[in-house]
Amino acid sequence: MATSESASLSKTVKQQYMDLPQGDKVQAMYIWIDGTGEGLRCKTRTLDSEPKTIDDLPEWNFDGSSTYQSEGSNSDMYLIPAAMFRDPFRKDPNKLVLCEVLKYNRKPTETNLRLMCKKIMEMVENQVPWFGMEQEYTILGTDGHPFGWPSNGFPGPQGPYYCGVGADKAYGRDIVEAHYRACLYAGVKICGTNAEVMPAQWEFQVGPCEGINMGDHLWAARFILHRVCEDFGVVASFDPKPIPGNWNGAGCHTNFSTKEMREDGGLRGIEDSIEKLGRRHRYHICAYDPKGGLDNARRLTGHHETSNIHEFSAGVANRGASIRIPRSVGQDKKGYFEDRRPSANCDPYAVTEALIRTCLLSEEGEEPKEYSK
C-alpha cells in the first residue's frame, strides 16, 4: 500500500515553527465544496483579530476555473462565510470557516446546495427538525488499495471486523481516534464512531443537529477527516462501493425527527412521513448521491445490509429496508426513523432538504417545488 511522501516529512521540525507565537493575528482557513459536489478546497488568510461570529469574517474570492466551477474568462468566485469552527490543526485562536460559493453575478454555483437548503429549513423551523447522519468511509492508500489489506490478495471474509478489536480486525484506529478528538476540539457535533463490516471501513456519527446545522457539521467533519488522513499519508474515500464483490458498501444513513415525532404519540407522525416517502422514492434516490442515483446503484443491491434501489420498503429493526424504525421507537410509540438510502458521498444539504420537502412540506412528484421568496 502506497502512502503520501508528505507524511514522511518530519513533524518534529514542523512543530518548531507551529510553536512560534503569532501575536494578535489569526489564521482563518476558508473551506468550500468544489464543482464536483464531493471535493473540498481550502485556503488561508490572516485576520487582525479573533472573529467571534460569522459576521466578523470578510468575504473572499478564488479562481473557479481551477475548481471545476467556472471558465477562465470569468473565473472569480465569491466565498461567503457560513459556519465557523475552532481549528484543531493550528489550534486557538485560529479558525476553520465553511463557506458558500457564489458566481460573479452573486448567484449560487451548481454545487452550492446550502442556500436552498437553508431557505427550506427556515420554512419549517417551528417543527424543530433534528437530524443525525452516520458517515461511513474507507481508508485507502494513495494507490487506492484498502489500508491493511494484503498487497496481492484479500483479507479474511467479513464477520470479525464490525466493532472489532485487535490488530487483525481493526485497521487504522489511530486515524479514527485523531479525527474524533479533532472534531470535538473544533466544536463539531460528533457523537460516536465504530469500525464497520468491511476491514478498513469505519463510521462516525454527527448529530443531533437542527436544520441547516446538519449539513454544516457533517461537511466540517469530512474536511477534518481529509486533513487527518493527509497527515497520516492515506486517503479517506466516501465511494459508496469502493471494493466490488462480496464486500459491504458505504452509506450515510440519516436519522430524522420533528418535535411532534419525539413527543408522546409521535409514531403516527413517523408513519405518515414514511407513507409520503414511499410515494416519492425516485425523487429521493436522485437526491441521495451526487450523480443522481448512479453511484448508489452500485451499493443498493438488496444485499450487504441494503435495500434494492428500485423498490421502497420500511420495517421495524430491518437493516435491509429503505426506512428502518428502531425497535425502541416501535415500543415507545415516539422518536425518529432512519433513512438508509443516502450514499456515503451524498451532499447532506440535499438529503436533509429532500426529507423536509417530502415529509413536512408534503411535496409530491419527481421535481422539487419552487417557492416564492
Helix residue ranges per DSSP H, 210-318: 213-232, 259-262, 267-278, 281-287, 294-297
Query: pLDDT for 114-145, tens place per residue?
Result: 999 999 999 999 999 999 999 999 999 999 99
- The residue-averaged pLDDT of 170-192 equals 98
257 exposure class (CB count in 10 Å sphere: 0-12, 13-18, 19+): buried
Query: pLDDT for 299-356, tens place per residue?
Result: 999 998 899 999 999 999 888 899 999 999 999 999 999 999 999 999 999 999 999 9
State residue 75's pLDDT score: 87
Query: pLDDT for 247-287, tens place per residue?
Result: 999 999 999 999 999 999 999 999 999 999 999 999 999 99
Distance CA(189)–CA(13), nearest Å, equals 32
Q: Is the pLDDT of residue 157 over 80?
A: yes
For 324, phi and psi rounded to 5 degrees? -110, 130
Percent of the chain scored above 70 by pLDDT?
Answer: 99
Average pLDDT, the chain: 96
What sign has the CA pseudo-torsion 65, 71, 77, 82?
negative
State residue 1's pLDDT score: 79
Local confidence band at 13 (pLDDT 50, 70, 90 cut-offs): very high
pTM over 0.95: yes
State residue 367's pLDDT score: 95
Question: Cell numbers 408522546 label which residue?
Answer: 264
- The residue-averaged pLDDT of 162-190 equals 98
Distances (CA, A) of 339 to 118, 162, 218, 271, 285: 21, 21, 16, 13, 11
Q: Is the pLDDT of residue 73 over 80?
A: no
Number of residues that this document lists for the chain: 373
Q: Is the pLDDT of residue 71 over 80?
A: no
State residue 371's pLDDT score: 93
Distance CA(291)–CA(273), nearest Å, equals 25
Q: Is the pLDDT of residue 244 over 90?
A: yes
State residue 109's pLDDT score: 96
Query: pLDDT for 210-233, tens place per residue?
Result: 999 999 999 999 999 999 999 999
Domains belonging to the chain, first-starting first, are 5-110 (3.10.20.70), 121-360 (3.30.590.10)
State residue 116's pLDDT score: 97
Nearest to 285 by CA among 244, 343, 325, 356: 343
